Structure 1
Amino acid sequence: MEALRENFFNLQVYGQVFPYLLNGLWSTVWLSLLVIPLGLLTGLALAIVATRSRPRWPRVLVAIHVDFFRAFPPLVLLIFIYFATPFFGWDMPKLAAVALGFTLNTSSYYAEVFRAGLSSVPKGQDEAARSTGLGAWQALCYVTIPQATRNVLPDLLGNSIEVVKMTTLASVVALPELLKAARDAQSMIYNPSPVVLAALMYLLLLWPLVRLLSHIERRHLGQARRRVRQKPA
């Protein structure tokens, strides 16, 4: 037990590396705040094309994009973007490579969530909005999208939590996020305690979001049950 404590739960090491890991935590937070909105906006745009486009070919392109990037490993995608683009004459900065790779990956998942949400809104809602004088895009922005977002909010929040955890992959291009800071600290002191401390910091960061997700899921389930009970026999 003493060896376990010294190697994984060394409080003295925790105190030494905590300021360094705290800088990595801030990098993780702002990277998440960059990638999640980009993924949400891109995914919403893809979902609108998939559900509202009259020509068939845009829907096919969206389906190819979604299927490809959901199946392609995000780590391999990030490595390819960062290390392969110089061969095409474009030396991409680390942050830009991470933002592009994560946006391509996360937007495919967000697109499927938003597509399900948009499809869940009855067409009568759009028709009622149009009858009040709203244009097609106004009805979409003010009526359909808010209802669709509310319907799939648990899935959106769940995907966002996964995005925060996926930021650990940014260490492969030496972006100084939390895991990269922990691994650097581990290599300097030859003790894995910094990695354990980083895991605890991730837990403290994501635990409130996980509890919020559980609350929203229970509320949505309760609303669905009430709607079922209210239906006439």
Structure 2
Amino acid sequence: MSKTTTTSLLGGVLLAGSVLAGEVAPITTPAPESKFSSDIAVGYHSQYNWRGFDLGNDMVDATVNTAFTCPYTGLDISAGAWYASVKDGGFDELDLYTAASKDLGFATASVGYIFYHFFDSADDAQEVTFGLSKEFYGVETGVTYFWDVETDNGGYLEGSISKSFGPVSTGVAVGYSLEEDGFTHVTSKVSYDYALTDTATLSPYVAYAVELDELEGVYGTDEENEFFAGAVLTVTF
């Protein structure tokens, strides 16, 4: 269930290489160097808002991400783990995710996988994701389809648009339920990235989720617009 916000962030690590053995080593052209980066983030959130739905208040979370560009295929591979503890909701959650993306010129395409584990009576879940993203004049746009491979939810589609103005980032996400055949939420977010050091950034944010008609059909609860805020500390290495 993640993310955001942010989101939310997907990937794995792909290692490629070969060893040549022989009495005389042949002259070869070195493979291009790969690009590898990682980050760790911890945060506090006044509400765990998942796809427009309030899952509980007072959430703390931690994320570990890593990204790798395969020099042979050009694929951008990423992987990570997200752990959250929701005090008001009374549950803990661990998400493991991976994705591969490729710039096709007209857009960047991605395929990913998310495993949701809950440390209570709730059943675990799995999703396969398919996405397209493109930048237009400094505006990032994207659309992602989430296919639940364990339960019959009919699928979830989310479109997003975001724009940065220096350290200020703004974004809007719109959710659509294929099962209910309708829009579920519109969530807007504004954050500010404050550089503490060359590798550490503190990002406070505020967000507002407008719950639309079909969200009630998905979760069986009354519609209620939600305001929430928080801050995330990210360290890259």
Which TM bucket (shorter chain)?
under 0.3
> What is the TM-score with the length of structure 2 in the denominator?
0.21
Flag the structure with more relative contact order, 1 or 2, with Cα contacts below 8 A and sequence separation at least 6.
1
Which structure has the highest helix share of the two? 1
Instruction: Indicate the structure with greater strand content.
Output: 2
TM-score (norm 1): 0.21
**Which of the pair has more CA radius of gyration?**
1
